[in-house]
Structure 1
Amino acid sequence: MAKIYKIALTFLLFGLLPTSVHAATLFFSPSSGEYAVGKTLSVSLYISSADQAMNAASGVISFPSDKLEVSSLSKTGSIFSLWVQEPSFSNSAGTINFEGIVLNPGFTGSSGKAITITFKAKAAGNALLSFSSGSVLANDGQGTNILSGSGNARFDLGNAITNIPEASIPSTISGAISVPKISSPTHPDSNEWYSNGNPVFKWNLPTGVTEVRLVLSKKAGTSPQIKYAPPIAEKALTEIDDGVWYLNVQFKTAQSLSKISSFKFNIDTTKPADFTINRYDNDDATNPRPLLMFESSDGLSGIDHYEMKIGGGDWFKIESENDGKSYKLPPQKFGTHEVLVKATDKAGNSISTSAKIILKPASIQKPTIKEVISPKMRIGETITIKGVITKETEDEKAVKTVAVVADIFNIKDDDSSGQISEFVEGVDERLIKTTESPIDESGNFDVKIDSLKIGTYNIQIYGKDERGMVSDASSDIAIEVTDNKPFYAQFVGWVSDAISRGFNGLINLVANGWQSVIVGAFGAALIYWLARRAIPFLIMKAQRTAYIVGEYKLNKRLLRSNQKAQFEIKILYDDLQKELILFKKIKQHRKLHPEEKYFKEKLEKYLKLLKTFR
C-alpha cells in the first residue's frame, strides 16, 4: 500500500513541474507586394518548427472575397505526405482550409512548405490574408499543440496596367506628343528578376520635347515630379532597394504633356534563406541511394532551382518542385561522401550548404576468381574472367547479390599480369571504365573485357546487390595488353619483306639486260638458301628468348609476392603479440572473463601457427 502512495505522490510532483514547450509558427511568403487588378499572385504557406519535430498541422485562412479570388491550390513541394482533409477553398466565404500529416520522424525546420495558393486580383485596395484558426502538433506521441503564433500577409492591389515593359498608353495626345517608349539594357524583361541594384533606362526623345519628367515609385502611373530641362534620353539609378518598382516617364512640350509611361522592373539582391540537408533513411546505413531532404526559401523572387554536387563530381540540376521532399541520390559506393546543395533564386542569387553522408558496406561476399582466360591479351582480343560469389548475405535486412562490377584501372607496373590478390599496388592508377556482369542461380559469373589499348591494367571485381551497393572487398587481377603480333611473327614479316625486295631487284636486273641474268640467278639462290636455313633458326631463337624473358618475369613476381607475404606475416605476428601482452596486463589486475580467456587461447594458437611461416 505504501508503494502505491509513493507512486501517486511521484506522479503529482512531476505533474506540477513546468514542461518544456517548443514554439511553432505559421506564415506566408511573400507577405507583401503590389499587384495590378486582373493579374495573378502566388502565396505559399509555410510552417516553422525549428526546435521540435512536428507531424501534423491544420488551419483556416481568411481573405477578402471582394478583392481576391482563389484560382488554384497546389500541394507541390509540400512537407505533408498524407492529407486528413484535401486543401479546399470557398471564394464566396473567403476561406481556405487545410489539414495534413507528416510521417515519422516528422518535420523539423524553419520553412516547411504546406500549400501554395494562386489568387487573382479582382478589385483595387488592400487585401489582408490571416489565420482564423490553426494548430501545429508535435511528434511527441501526445499530439501537443506547439503553435505559438501566425503571421499575416498584406497586398496592395492597384489599377490594371497593360504592356508594362513599354508604353501602354496611346502613343499621342491629340496627335501632339509621342508617349515615352522605355527600355532597359540592364533589366530588359519586366517579368524577370535581377540581382543588379543599379538599373539603366533609355527612351526615345522626339523633336519638340523641352522637358522630361521622372519618378521612381512602387505604383505604375505615378505622376512624375523630377524635371530635366534640357531633356535627357537616359537615366542610371544606383543602389535601389529590393522589390517591385516602376519608373514613370512623361514628356513636356511647349503646348502640352504626354501621357505617363511606366516601366516595371524587379530587383532581388538577397540570397535565399539558410537551409540544412537531412537524411531520412538513417535506419539503413547501407542504402546506396540515400534519401535526403532540403528546402530553402526566398521571400522575393522565389527559388528557381537547386544544384547538387557529390564529392569531386560535377554539379547537376534539381528542379525547385523537389524541395521539401525526399530526394534519392544516384547510386554511391560505401564510404563518406560530401554532398553540396546550392539553392538559386529567380534573380540568380545563390546559397550553398553541405553534409557528410556515411554509407556502410553491406554484407556482400567478396567475389572469388576461378579462371582467367588470356591474362596477356593482344589488341582486339577479349579477356574473360570466370568466378563465383555467394548470392545470400548474412544480414537479414540485406538483399540478394545479383551481379559483379569490374572497375578497370590503367597502371604503369607491367610485371604483374595474371596475378590474383587482395590488392595490386600500381603507380598512377587511372579508372578507364566500369563494366557489370550478372550472376546465375549458383553465383557464377563471366566478366568479358575488350577494347583496351596497349598497357597494363588492374581489374577490381566487387559484388553488387539489387539495390546497387557493392562489397567492401574486391578480388583484383592485373592483365597486360600487347601489340597485335608477337616478336617472332614480326621478324618473319621483316624477312618476308626482304625476300620480296630481293625478287624485285632480280626483275630489275633482268630488265637491264640478259647479261645480268646470271647475277640475278645467283642472288635468287642465295635468298632461297636464307629462307630455308636462316629463318627457322632465327624463329627458334626468338621463341627461346621470349620463353626466357617470361620465366624471368614469373620468378620476379614470385619473389616479390613472397617478400610481401613475409612482411605481412611479420606485421600480423607483432599485432598478435601486442594483444597477448594486453591480456597479460589485464590478468594482473583481475580474472579474465570466459570470453576473454577463450579469445586469448585462440590468439596463442594463431601465434604458434604463424611461427611455422617465419
Structure 2
Amino acid sequence: MSTPRFVIGVVALCLFFAGADAALAAGIYVMPKQGNYARGETVVADVRINAEGESINAAQARISWPPSVLELVEVSKDGSVFQFWVEEPVAAAGANAVSFIGGASKGISGGALQILKLKFKAIGVGTANLSLSNAAVTASDGKGTNILSKVSGASYTVGAQGVPPEVKPEVKPEVQPEPSAVPAVPPPAKPEPVAAPQPVKVERKAVPALSLPPKPELRVPLYPDEALWNNHVEETVVFWNMPDSVIAAASALDHSPHTVPQTAEKELATGKAFGALENGMWYVHVRLKNNVGWSPVAHYRIAIDTKPPSPFEVSVSGGETTDNPAPVFHWKASDALSGLKEYQLRIDDGEVIVIPAIGFTGTYALPLQAPGAHRVVVRAIDEAANSVEDDVDLTTLPIPSPTIAFVTRELFAEEERGITIKGAAFPASDVLLRVQRLLRSGKAELIHQGSAHVDEKGNWESTFTEPLRNGRYTVTAQSRDGRGALSLVVDSPAIRVKSAPVLQIGSMQLGKGGAAFLLLFLLLGSFGGGAWFYKKRQGKLALRVGLAEAEVTKIFKLILHDAERLSKASQDVISVEGVYALKQLQENMKKMEAYLQKSLEKITR
C-alpha cells in the first residue's frame, strides 16, 4: 500500500466511518465470555474482532469495568493484528476504562482477530461486567465504512475465597467521556454471555462387562470437523459416549497426536471443558475404563489459526499506468501456521477470480482491460479463512481511436443496401462496430455488431445489410490492436431509417403515410371545391331565373292588357263566337303565365 493510502486510512479513523452503505457484518467481543474467580486471582480478557468474512483495516472501542471488583494490571498489544494506533490503549492508575483506535496497513479478515489483552486482578467480591461502547469497525473499501453490527462484553464472578484484597484508596466516580461525533453501536445494558453446552456428571452403578470398552466417540461442537483449520476461539468442550460398564475416564490435551492419557478424571462425566485454546495444532486424547480394563485411545485433532497471512505487496510490470490491456501482476504471500489456501483477485466490482496457492509462481496476467481506471484487489486466504489483502490503482491507457469518414445518413426500412460506414485507423488493427437504435429514453439498443479489418493504408469499410425498422440509429467504432488493447469509442452521426416512398413529385418523396395524407387532402379539397362551385353556380342561376321570371310576368301583363283593350274596342261589332274566343285567349294566357312561373321556380331549387 502506498504512503498516501496509509495516510488516508489514518484520516478515516479520525473522521470515523461516515459511510453506511456496506452491509453490516463485523463484531467486537471479549473472551472468555464468563468465568469464576477468587479474590486475588488474575483475570485475563482478550478483545477480538470477528470480521465475518469482510476485509477490515481499523477499529475503535471503549472497554469499561467496575473498579470495585477488578483492577487493571496491564494492557498488552502483543499479537495484535493492528500495527498503528491513533489512540494508544493506555489506562491511568485507578481508571475503570480503556479506549483505543487502531488500524492495519493492509485489509485483513478473520473470525477471532486479536486486538488487545487486558490483565486484571480480582480485588472485590461480586459480578464484574466488561462492557463495550463507542465501538466501530471500518471496512477496507477505501471509504472508511463502519460495518460493525454487534458488540459482546463479558461477565466474571469473583468469590470471597482466595487472597484478601489490598486496601485501596477510594476511587472517584467514573467520569463519562465527551460524546463521540460518530454514531457508535450502543452496548447492551448488561452483557448476555451464552453458555456453551457442558458435560453432565454420571451417577449410576456400572454394569459389569465381559470385554474392554470400545474406543470412545468424541464430539467437539465448537470444532465439528477435525480435518479443518478453524479461525474462531471460545471455550472448548469435548463430549464422549458413556457405556453403562464404564467406571472411569482419562483425558489429555496436548500437541502430540499419539498421547495415551494416564490419569483418570476425578469425576465420571460425559465430557470435559478445556477452556479457550491458543493458536496451533491440538489433540484431545480420551480412553474409558470398565471392570475388564482400559479402552483403546481416541484422538481428536483441533487446528486453530486466528492470525492472517503475512502482509505482502503487489507490483505491476511496466507500472500502474500502462497501455498493456493485460498487465502482469507480481506478488507472493505466506502463512506460518495453517498455510495458504488460495488467492482471490477482484477487478473493480467484477467477479472474484480464484487462484489456488498450490502451483502459483508469483505472477498473474490480468484479463483484457478496457481503457480507464481500475481498482485491483488481491486477497491471500489461509486454510483457516483468515486473509490479508493489497490493492493497486491501475490505469489502462487507450490506443488511438478510429475516425469515421462516411456513413449512410438515410435509408429506407427493409432496404437491401443497408448501412455503409468507412474510415481510417492504425494499419493492421481491427475496428469493432456496433449498430445501435436510439431510444426515446436516451438509451441505445444494440441491433448488430461486427468488425472491419484495417488495411495496410489505414482504411477500413463495412456494410450492415440486416433489415432495420423505422427510427434513428448510430454506429459506434472502437479500435483494437493485436494485443487486444482498445481505444475510446467514437460515434457516427445519426442515421435515419424511414419507410420507402409510394409517391414522388419532383424531388419530394412520400411514403405510405405521406401518400395517404396527400390523397386525403386532395379528396377533401375536391369535395370542398365542388361544393363551393355548386353553391356559386346556384347563386348565379337563381339570379338569372329571377330576372327571367320578372320579364315573363311583365310580357304577359302587356299581352293581357292588349287583350282587354281589344275586347272593349270590339264589343259593338264582334259576334258571340268572337267574344267567347277572346275570353278563352285571356284565360289561356293566364294559365301560361302561371305555368312559366312554376317552371322557373323549379329550376332554382
TM-score (norm 1): 0.42
Q: Which has the larger radius of gyration?
A: 2
Return the structure number with greater helix share. Answer: 1
